Structure 1
């Protein structure tokens, strides 16, 4: 049986305690300029994506789980894993452990400046 939908993840929301600081951090991580959108019930800043049907996420004003104790969102590196992790660390992320190698890619765990558990992922090939 074929699963009826392309992606099981629809989108993710990452809470930040300061939107301007969140935009600065995630803009540095993704190496793009993100902006704050005020069109919904809360201000948000959307992660970059290529097409309207692509899965992504956003940051919003909220209370993060502290010390990386919440869920982990794996974010795709826009260039090399090392370059993206370097930007994240320079922007305030705490890097956790060594790079994890998998048959299909590699990733690096980190805690963003707000306490959220994230990882940066790079696909092999």
Structure 2
């Protein structure tokens, strides 16, 4: 089974956009539908979503890992300056599986990173 779409909850869509665009060097396209706002990443596959009472940032539940190849260190280096926090520093899973880390975004979501280097 492979994910086809991921929605990351946000309480402040502009703050979330600023964080994710700075950390991942990716642009988002904002769709403003009144109370429901969605910032879709131009590379596709996921979006930031703000809808009071529906999307609630959390450190509990499913932990999504994003591809951070070739080396997740380049992403981790930007997290603090963008307002996030590193919860688990880069560590090797195994020589075959590569590396992982976990961060906390500006909205209060845990997010995992995986890379080969």
How does the TM-score come out when normalised to structure 1?
0.75
- Judge conservation of contact 1:30–1:78 (CA < 8 Å) in 2: no
Residue 31 of structure 1 corresponds to 25
Deviation of 1:8 after TM superposition, in Å, equals 2.4
1:100 aligned onto 2:87: no
Residue 60 of structure 2 corresponds to 69
How many residues were matched structurally?
Answer: 111
Deviation of 1:18 after TM superposition, in Å, equals 0.3
Bigger strand share: 2
**Structure 2: tracts of 5 or more residues without a match:** none
**Structure 1: tracts of 5 or more residues without a match:** 1-6
Rate the CA distance shift 1:17–1:31 in 2: closer, same or farther, 3 A.
Answer: same
Question: Runs in 1 of length 4+ with deviation above 4 angstroms?
Answer: none
Deviation of 1:86 after TM superposition, in Å, equals 1.2
Q: RMSD across aligned C-alpha pairs, in angstroms?
A: 2.3
How does the TM-score come out when normalised to structure 2?
0.79
Rate the CA distance shift 1:123–1:46 in 2: closer, same or farther, 3 A.
Answer: farther
Q: Partners in 1 of 2:69 and 2:31 — Cα distance? A: 22
Residue 112 of structure 2 corresponds to 119
